[in-house]
Every structure is written in C-alpha cells, then in structure tokens.
Amino acid sequence: MAAKAVFILNGPNLNLLGQREPEIYGRTSLADIETATKARAKELGFCVDFRQSNTEGTLVDWVQEADTKGMGLIINPGAYTHTSIALLDALKAASIPKIELHLSNIHAREAFRQQSVTAGGVDGIIAGFGAPGYRFALEALKSLVESRST
C-alpha cells in the first residue's frame, strides 16, 4: 500500500499567483510553488497531493477526503479564511494534523483580512513568508505528524 500523502489545498484566486497583486503575493506562480513543494516533501520523506479550487464546497470535500486518505493537511484558504464557517467545520472534524498557510501577513493587511474564521480548525498558522511559507508548512507538518506518532 502506498504511503499516505500530505494534502495541500489552495483556495480562490491562488491560481492567479504571479499575476495578481505581485507586490503582495509575489511573482511566483502556483505551478512553481507546487514544483518546489513536491521536491521538498520528497526530501522530507513524503508525497504531496497538491490542489487548487475557487469553489468553497470543493475545498470542504477535499478536507474531508484528506482526513480519510491523507497523513496531514496544509491549507491556504484564500478569501475563505475570513468567511467560511463550512470550511471551519470541515477542518474541526478532521483528525489529521492541519496547518493554515498564507503568503501575506494577514494581520498586517486590511481589517477585514485580519480575522481568520478557519484558524480555529487547525493546529497552527504560517503567514507572511511568501512562497517559502509552503516549505515551512511542510516542515512544521512533519513535526506535528512525528509528535502524534510517538
């Protein structure tokens, strides 16, 4: 049986990375982030299931799938961070280690972006480091997985 994957889920508009507000989100595309993330995951000894959707219900379905098929979850909920009770409920129901990730420092942004509705459903948050944040999230997730297995 193949090893369980780390699910990395990306929310709305992250497919536009590199084009959308590069002064905030950087010039690295989501495809470039995926390539770098998969390479780092391999170095850490696990595989990645990397996905993006602009649809809230799809992200909820994927969180539920990650809970049954994955070893851990990293989620960049995008704008759903600030609005999605459905995503929060799915995250709270999932028993695997979970990390919320943001490219920008949401606490230094507009007031409406400073509140994370979804934060209550994850083990930790990484924000403000741009594309390298995905690498940091993988390393933190590895630590969470290892601490739960001992």
Three-state secondary-structure class, residue 41: helix
Would residue 82 show up in a list of annotated catalytic residues for this protein?
Answer: no
Q: Which of the listed CATH numbers 3.90.228.20, 1.10.3980.10, 3.40.50.2300, 3.40.50.9100 matches domain 5-149?
A: 3.40.50.9100
Instruction: Say which of 82, 102, 107, 134 is annotated catalytic.
Output: 102
Q: Distance (Å, rounded) from C-alpha 37 to C-alpha 47?
A: 10
| Residue from 7, 3, 143 nearest 75 by CA | 7
How do residues 91-130 score in pLDDT, each as one tens digit? Answer: 999 999 999 999 988 877 777 777 899 999 999 999 999 9
Taking the domains of the chain in order of start, what are their residue ranges? 5-149
How do residues 127-141 score in pLDDT, each as one tens digit? Answer: 999 999 999 999 999
Would residue 25 show up in a list of annotated catalytic residues for this protein?
Answer: yes
Average pLDDT over residues 69-78: 97
Contacts 24+ apart (CB under 8 A), 25-28: 25/103, 25/104, 25/130, 26/103, 26/130, 26/131, 28/130, 28/131
**pTM, entire model:** 0.92
Give the sheet arrangement for strand 98-102, strand by strand: 48-52, 5-10, 70-76, 98-102, 124-127
Instruction: Say which of 25, 80, 82, 107 is annotated catalytic.
Output: 25
